[in-house]
Structure 1
Amino acid sequence: MNRSKGIFLVITGAVFWGIGGTVAKKLFQHYEIDIDWLVTTRLLIAGLLLLTVQFFGKDRSQILGVWKTRRIAIHLIIFGLLGMLAVQYTYMASIKHGNAAVATLLQYLAPVMIIVYLIFRKQTVLTRRDLLTVSLALFGCYFLLTNGSISQLSVPTLAIVWGVLSGIALAFYTLYAVPLLKQYHSLVIVGWAMIIGGLALSFIHPPWQMDFTSLTLEAYLYLVFVIIFGTMIAFWFYIESLQSLPPKESSLLGSIEPLAAVLTTVFWLKEPFGLFQWVGTACIIGMILLLALYKESSSRTLHPPKSDEPLNVS
């Protein structure tokens, strides 16, 4: 029963993550929602909801306890600004200028970036499996972004730039979060990081500065889905799945996220997707599956479980 529950939770969370990015594209495309406003609102509301879940769960003292040590507080603020906010904003910007499929797949290059970083830092050694992983990522990106044509890109340049920056931000987010997550529950760390990022962006675009009367009922439903289902519930379900499944299995099942993003982008938003882009998508999903299967079998490379990611927080 617990295993079945865990499988249901992780698959549902991953699908929500993937669809959430596509719904955000719909808001940008058809309702001209400002990206700064959406990221601000999404972070603040989802962060408050995550802390609320922790408050009614176990060890609510951690919610304020995380601020009692100056070093940890500074670490958390940096994580909120350069980790959480950077990941969320770059991901949404890539969606705005391109689509959710490309943005999600580019963000999933983060594990490869982590491998390369750790190799250069001499904290790990290069293996044939790493070479295969990096090769799949490079070939996948090439086909995804060019559709097999060297002369022109099939994806807007800005979407690529923001997508690559999203992958870099996710790599930083994943590595920088490790010390915090060893001491405090992930709901507390991620909840506060979201609130910190949302408050910082509020100085650029306050959440109340929005013409709410111009939005239709459909637009409000899309907003609720992105904030509640695509952010808060997706993350919460993933964390809950780790109570019943090992991280390796949860990560493997979580790779449904980019597949959900691609399918909804192509079949719901009717975005064009060429044959070679499907090949590129298969390469990157293959890379994700390879990394997910490998996570628990070796301790030589740092791969925190996806509960430490935003990908889902995207």
Structure 2
Amino acid sequence: MHDTSTDAASVRRLGLTIALVSAFAFGGSGPAAKPLIEAGLEPLHVTWLRVAGAAVATLPLAWRHRDLLRRRPGLLAGFGLLAVAGVQACYFAAISRIPVGVALLIEYLAPALVLGWVRFVQRRPVTRAAAVGVVLAVGGLACVVEVWKGMAFDAVGLLLALGAACCQVGYFVLSDHGTDDGDDGGAPDPYGVIAYGLLIGALILTVVARPWTMDWSVLAGDASLDGTSVPAYALLAWIVLIATVAAYLTGVVSIRRLSPQVAGVVACLEAVIATGLAWVLLGEHLSAPQVAGGAVVLVGAFIAQSSAPKPAAPEPVAGGTGSGAAAVEDGLPAGRGTP
């Protein structure tokens, strides 16, 4: 007799493994992008290169799901503006001024901010545990930025990282609106949403970043990883193919094998991975209070997102980012964004 419980456990283990791969891929974007910024590229130009390269790579997916342009133009536009262009532009601009780990940990306030949206905008009740999660996240953030040092931290960098968190909130809200079947029937395919989000994000960033003003010669030279020279084009290839295309797609695959909530929790490891990679590759050492504060931010984000009231979702196989750490609905990828 076929053991369905064994099959379910195998699917779950595979899903957890793929979710960890996605978190690692997303977490590697900041440590790879910062050397390019320090080599002479503007943060917006690095963002444009990342998104435009990924958009080209996912063109076959966009063509396959071209019906989404007619069915869900608003969802695609919002996803491209917030989840792709907004999150990544703010994040890359932030890491040009503050450490990668600090920027990403601040971005991970997004699950707590979502609770504020639910409570004060949608006027829905939130659990006491969710409120505790928000308090923990804010307290942990205070340790991460070491507020007892006054304005020793970069206020602009902090605001940019908070901007990335706010764009993540918009992403989660869009994810919630993407769960229904719409007038034409059929929930949006996550791969199509990703592909068109990247295309629309690339168009928006082309206007904002003006890539024709970029110093393209930087890509032909080397960048420094804590004193070690690495070809700039190799770092760019990693950012486009691994930290964007592979990260988004593995995020979707993982959510198809896990519940959105579980996949979102695993995505929280992105912040830990990014901080660890920045420590090893860039020499960005955080102080003990910052490390402790980062752990508290992650715990608070975990409690907040796992306690948030959620609408009923379809079976996980119906569908499920990188750079995020909150639950998503019906096929849209966890986290991301990042970043």
After TM superposition, the score normalised by the length of structure 2 is 0.80
What is the aligned partner in structure 1 of residue 253 from structure 2?
240
Deviating more after overlay: 163-172 vs 82-91: 82-91
1:245/1:79 CA distance change after superposition, 3 Å = closer
Which one-letter code corresponds to 1:23 in the other structure?
A
In the alignment, structure 2 segments of 5+ residues that lack a partner are 1-9, 181-186, 223-230, 313-325
What is the aligned partner in structure 1 of residue 310 from structure 2?
299
Matched length: 301
Q: CA deviation at 1:293?
A: 4.3
Partner Cα distance (1:246, 1:192) in 2: 24
Residues 87, 173 of structure 1: 8 Å contact kept: no
Residues 139, 296 of structure 2: 8 Å contact kept: yes
1:66-145 alignment runs, 5 A limit? 66-69=68-71, 72-145=72-145
1:153-168 alignment runs, 5 A limit? 153-168=151-166
Deviating more after overlay: 15-24 vs 239-248: 239-248
Of structures 1 and 2, the one scoring higher in RCO (CA 8 A, sep 6+) is 1
Which one-letter code corresponds to 2:164 in the other structure?
S
- Alignment pair present for 1:190 and 2:194: yes
1:1-314 alignment runs, 5 A limit? 1-29=10-38, 31-53=39-61, 60=64, 63-69=65-71, 72-146=72-146, 150-180=148-178, 182=180, 183-207=187-211, 209-214=213-218, 215-216=220-221, 218-291=231-304, 293-294=306-307, 298-299=309-310, 303-305=327-329, 307-309=332-334, 311-314=336-339
- The 3-state SS of whatever aligns with 1:68 is helix
Residues 181, 189 of structure 1: 8 Å contact kept: no
Partner Cα distance (2:129, 2:259) in 1: 22
Q: CA deviation at 1:145?
A: 0.4
Q: CA deviation at 1:232?
A: 1.0
1:130/1:178 CA distance change after superposition, 3 Å = closer
Partner Cα distance (1:201, 1:312) in 2: 15
Could you give the per-residue CA deviations for residues 47-96 of structure 1, whole angstroms, max 9, x where no partner exists?
A: 333343566xxxx3xx2111224xx3244324422443111211111111
Could you give the per-residue CA deviations for residues 117-176 of structure 1, whole angstroms, max 9, x where no partner exists?
A: 111135421332022101111111100001xx5242453111100011111111012102
- The 3-state SS of whatever aligns with 1:152 is helix
After TM superposition, the score normalised by the length of structure 1 is 0.86
1:74/1:312 CA distance change after superposition, 3 Å = closer
Partner Cα distance (2:12, 2:327) in 1: 23
Partner Cα distance (1:140, 1:270) in 2: 22
1:156/1:195 CA distance change after superposition, 3 Å = same
Q: CA deviation at 1:16?
A: 1.3
Which one-letter code corresponds to 2:148 in the other structure?
I
In the alignment, structure 1 segments of 5+ residues that lack a partner are none
Residues 19, 267 of structure 2: 8 Å contact kept: yes
Which one-letter code corresponds to 1:234 in the other structure?
A
